[in-house]
Amino acid sequence: MTENTQVHRQCLACGFPFWEQLTAEEQDMLCRYTRPVKYQKGARVHSPTESCVGILLLRTGQLRAYLLSEDGRDITLYRLFGGEVCILSASCVMDAVNFDLYIDAEEDTEAYCISAGIFRRLMQQNVYVRCYAYQMTAERFSDTMWTMQQVLFMSVDRRLAIFLTDEIAKTGSEDVRLTHDQIARYMGSAREVVSRMLKYFAQEGWVKLYRGGVQVLDRKKLQEIARG
Binding site for a copy of itself (CB under 8 A): 67, 69-71, 73, 75, 94, 96-101, 127-128, 130-131, 134-142, 144-146, 148-149, 151-153, 155, 188
Among residues 184 and 207, whose Cβ is nearest to a copy of itself? Answer: 184
Alpha carbon distance 54, 46 (integer Å) = 9
CB 125 within 8 Å of CB 26? yes
Among residues 11 and 148, whose Cβ is nearest to a copy of itself? Answer: 148
Q: Provide, rounded to whole angstroms, the least separation between the CB of residue 192 and a copy of itself.
A: 12
Q: Provide, rounded to whole angstroms, the least separation between the CB of residue 178 and a copy of itself.
A: 22
Cα separations (Å) of 180 from 65, 70, 188, 196, 218?
Answer: 20, 22, 12, 10, 19
CB 156 within 8 Å of CB 197? yes
Cα separations (Å) of 142 from 45, 69, 137, 138, 195?
Answer: 22, 21, 9, 6, 29
Among residues 73 and 121, whose Cβ is nearest to a copy of itself? Answer: 73
The residues with which 68 forms a beta bridge, in sequence order, are 74
Q: Provide, rounded to whole angstroms, the least separation between the CB of residue 201 and a copy of itself.
A: 20
Q: Provide, rounded to whole angstroms, the least separation between the CB of residue 152 and a copy of itself.
A: 6
Q: Provide, rounded to whole angstroms, the least separation between the CB of residue 135 and a copy of itself.
A: 5
Q: Provide, rounded to whole angstroms, the least separation between the CB of residue 140 and a copy of itself.
A: 8
Kindly give the residue spans of alpha helices, DSSP state H, lying in the chain: 3-15, 24-32, 116-125, 127-153, 156-171, 180-187, 191-203, 219-227
CB 19 within 8 Å of CB 13? yes
Among residues 56 and 123, whose Cβ is nearest to a copy of itself? Answer: 123
Helix or strand or coil: residue 57? strand
Among residues 24 and 96, whose Cβ is nearest to a copy of itself? Answer: 96
The residues with which 178 forms a beta bridge, in sequence order, are none
Among residues 102 and 112, whose Cβ is nearest to a copy of itself? Answer: 102
Q: Hey, what's the torsion of the CAs at 181, 182, 186, 190, to 10 degrees?
A: 0
Other CB atoms closer than 10 Å to residue 96's CB: what's the count? Answer: 8
Among residues 134 and 200, whose Cβ is nearest to a copy of itself? Answer: 134
Q: Provide, rounded to whole angstroms, the least separation between the CB of residue 28 and a copy of itself.
A: 22
